[in-house]
Structure 1
């Protein structure tokens, strides 16, 4: 990863599966929610279809499968179950504080750029204690018309942070996110160290490279070491 940060002025972090180990919780919860609304999928199918996507994706899937428009009912039902599990089980990704501290010491800006809603991101920051790192620097798919894999969110976040795409690095764990970063003209580091990839990190790594990741890592300590002192 030598030279990765030579022209970097800002880093855009996905949240789920990158900053926090939330994907195993959210995917398992989504399995339960889809079954409740009559559109069951296995955990693997849910992961393949919805990792890195906003809540509109499962809502659209439910409508395709059942004819129901659950737009109003989906989020309250999902979040009640999800947030209870967050309170019990949500943790930060190991070494993420070291990465953020290294970026701050190097005067490289950073923010969150996530498919999650503002409400969900606020809950995540509160439970994990990551909030102080990102005060005023949180960009949600709520802010753009087209979520990942479209580049809109990353372009919006980079613009909001005052930096051009060519000076931006995205940290992503999903194919949709890597695809969005490449479409935005940004470098992308794939991350497969989250719990949702524990059973098959090699395949996840291959998929992120195939989507266009410049490099893929499974340990945030490697990223921290790549940031120049």
Structure 2
């Protein structure tokens, strides 16, 4: 399949994706990302872990449901910053909406950063959004296909590997079996990505 041109986003700092998993990433501050999840959005970070980075989450508005090593935490503004140690499976999203609590209808705003602060988080979010937004635009103009969807998945797995983001697969969790399954799939995707020239990280998406 011929490669479609990628949208140059080197000067873009805000990325918005539509419903049902509506989300906005603000990358204007290089040290951290600010992620906004509107009411009704099904967006989730997905369960994953990091090998080389400790992650921090600070809720600025709304209520987040943070799952950390299988434990669910409701986190609100004023609560302690959530620290996610290396190797610990975690996921975050909007907390369940309670129609009797007005604050649950607020936009969820979370500040996210990592240590070391080496730019990997920014590279990840810029390429993640660039790939997804360009694929969505292509589907609107040309119609989607299972082939293009598979190529996007391949790109994303290559990005995950390059940006220290290890997704949980097959519902296996973060034990040694789950970690092994993720690494096997990731290794196969990276090898195939190398053959097809699909590295998952592109100059067109990265900041100058």
TM bucket (normalised to shorter chain) is 0.3 to 0.5
Q: Which has the higher contact order (CA 8 A, sep 6+)?
A: 1
Q: Structure 1-normalised TM-score?
A: 0.33
- Which of the pair is proportionally richer in strand? 2
- Which of the pair is proportionally richer in helix? 1
Q: Structure 2-normalised TM-score?
A: 0.35
